[in-house]
């Protein structure tokens, strides 16, 4: 189960904005450049499954694009970011 955000939600201190969503994808905007990027629901579900299974995911392996990776992680539940080790992992592990 992923978190749900309303259209217009801002991520990363206002750097990205959720502009539309459907059953398959989220469309977000980089606010400074006004460019759009897509995050698929499958990418969110696959990442959530990896986290739930206890996998540690190294930064920039979900997506080489930091904006996409940031939105994916924000939609996952029970995940923490370990900046020192540069991994995302299940909370409490």
Domain that holds residue 61: 10-90
The stretch 58-85 carries a mean pLDDT of 96
Q: What is the pLDDT of residues 11-66, one digit of tens each?
A: 999 999 999 999 999 999 999 999 999 999 999 999 999 999 999 999 999 999 99
Tell me the pLDDT band of 69, cut-offs 50, 70 and 90.
very high
Instruction: Report residue 4's pLDDT band, with 50, 70 and 90 as the boundaries.
Output: confident
Which parts of the chain fold into alpha helices (H)? Answer: 41-52, 66-75
**What domain count does the chain have?**
1
Distance, in Å, from the CA atom of 7 to the CA atom of 87, rounded to the nearest integer, reads 28
pLDDT at 18: 97
pLDDT of 52:
96
The answer to whether residue 2 is domain-embedded is no
Rounded to whole angstroms, how far apart are CA atoms 69 and 14?
A: 15
Long-range Cβ pairs for the range 49-53 (8 Å, 24+): 51/76, 51/78, 51/79, 51/88, 51/89, 51/90, 52/78, 52/90
Residue 42 lies in a domain: yes
Cβ contact 36:19 at 8 Å: yes
Residue 3 lies in a domain: no
């Amino acid at each position: 189960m992923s978190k749900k955000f309303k259209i217009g939600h801002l991520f990363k201190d206002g750097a990205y904005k959720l502009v539309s969503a459907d059953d398959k994808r989220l469309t977000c905007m980089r606010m400074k450049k006004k460019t759009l990027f897509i995050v698929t629901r499958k990418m969110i579900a696959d990442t959530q499954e990896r986290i739930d299974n206890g996998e540690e995911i190294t930064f920039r392996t979900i997506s080489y694009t930091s904006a996409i990776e940031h939105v994916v992680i924000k939609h996952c539940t029970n995940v923490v970011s370990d900046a020192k080790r540069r991994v995302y992992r299940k909370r409490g592990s």
